[in-house]
């Protein structure tokens, strides 16, 4: 089981995009869409500080790392939950785990595996620190319980060289269609064989005629 496109968009919307290293609310160096070294490379503490000269390239890199991270969190949710899940329930659980890393020890997982859906839904709200996380927890609970996906654009935030994010105003807002395009795996480059033109084309036709007559 994997996250749906709507689930990925909801998660990216909760996290926002910071296309350079920043310190989260716990002081942990983070990059892009909530990526920390706990999820694997790259180590945000080793990435060049300050906003990238090419903002588009920085946003693309944030989504590339996000795609790689998601697979790990999806696998950990599948390992922790032993009961069947609807797609929206799985989306909510991966969003919760991506933010907390707590799926294996959370009370909501114990309630869920015991068959108590309502207790599991309410237990999302047990994870309430820092205080500003509560709107996200409520949104994850509502997604788990009702399949209610948040909408809207995905904010891109700027950050200074000390890792301080400026949350006063996004520097860009990504439409969901833009974010979906960035979530698609990069296609391998296929070299294009040039088509002969001009005198090269006439020469190729001449030799082709000679071969057919031989």
Omega prior to 105 cis, within 30 of 0: no
> What is the tens place of the pLDDT at every residue in 98-116?
999 999 999 999 999 999 9
| Domain, as residue range, for 89 | 5-213
Q: Which residues pair with 158 in a beta bridge?
A: 166
CA distances from 95 to 8, 86, 109, 159 (A): 8, 14, 14, 24
- Per-residue pLDDT band for 127 (boundaries 50, 70, 90) equals very high
Q: Return d(Cα 31, Cα 37) in angstroms, integer.
A: 9
Catalytic site residues? 15, 24
Q: What is the value of pTM for the model shown? A: 0.84
Please, what is the angle between helix 176-183 and helix 5-15, to 10°? 110
**How much is the pLDDT for 107?**
96
**How much is the pLDDT for 191?**
52
CB-based contact 141:96 (threshold 8 Å) = no
- Per-residue pLDDT band for 64 (boundaries 50, 70, 90) equals very high
Q: 74: closest CA among 128, 7, 13? A: 7
CATH code, domain carrying 137: 1.10.530.40
Three-state DSSP state, 205: helix
CB-based contact 59:17 (threshold 8 Å) = yes
> What is the tens place of the pLDDT at every residue in 178-188?
999 998 876 55
**How much is the pLDDT for 201?**
55
CB-based contact 133:118 (threshold 8 Å) = no
Three-state DSSP state, 179: helix
Q: Return d(Cα 136, Cα 133) in angstroms, integer.
A: 5
CB-based contact 31:45 (threshold 8 Å) = no
Q: Return d(Cα 56, Cα 101) in angstroms, integer.
A: 29
Report which of residues 95 and 208 the model is more confident about: 95
How many folded domains does the chain comprise? 1
């Amino acid at each position: 089981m994997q996250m749906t496109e709507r689930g990925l968009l909801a998660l990216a919307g909760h996290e926002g995009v910071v296309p350079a290293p920043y310190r989260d609310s716990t002081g942990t160096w983070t990059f892009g869409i909530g990526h920390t070294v706990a999820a694997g490379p790259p180590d945000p503490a080793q990435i060049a500080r300050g906003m990238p000269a090419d903002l588009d390239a920085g946003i693309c890199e944030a989504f590339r790392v996000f795609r790689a991270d998601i697979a790990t969190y999806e696998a950990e949710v599948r390992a922790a939950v032993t009961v069947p899940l609807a797609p929206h329930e799985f989306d909510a659980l991966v969003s919760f785990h991506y933010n907390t890393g707590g799926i294996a020890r959370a009370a909501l997982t114990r309630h869920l595996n015991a068959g108590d859906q309502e207790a599991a839904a309410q237990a999302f709200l047990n994870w309430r620190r820092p205080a500003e996380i509560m709107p996200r927890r409520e949104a994850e609970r509502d997604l788990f319980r009702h399949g209610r996906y948040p909408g809207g654009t995905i904010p891109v935030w700027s950050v200074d060289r000390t890792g301080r994010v400026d949350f006063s105003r996004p520097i860009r807002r990504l439409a969901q269609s833009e974010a979906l395009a960035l979530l698609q795996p990069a296609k391998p480059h296929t070299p294009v064989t040039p088509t002969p033109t001009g005198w090269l084309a006439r020469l190729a036709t001449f030799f082709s005629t000679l071969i057919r007559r031989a």
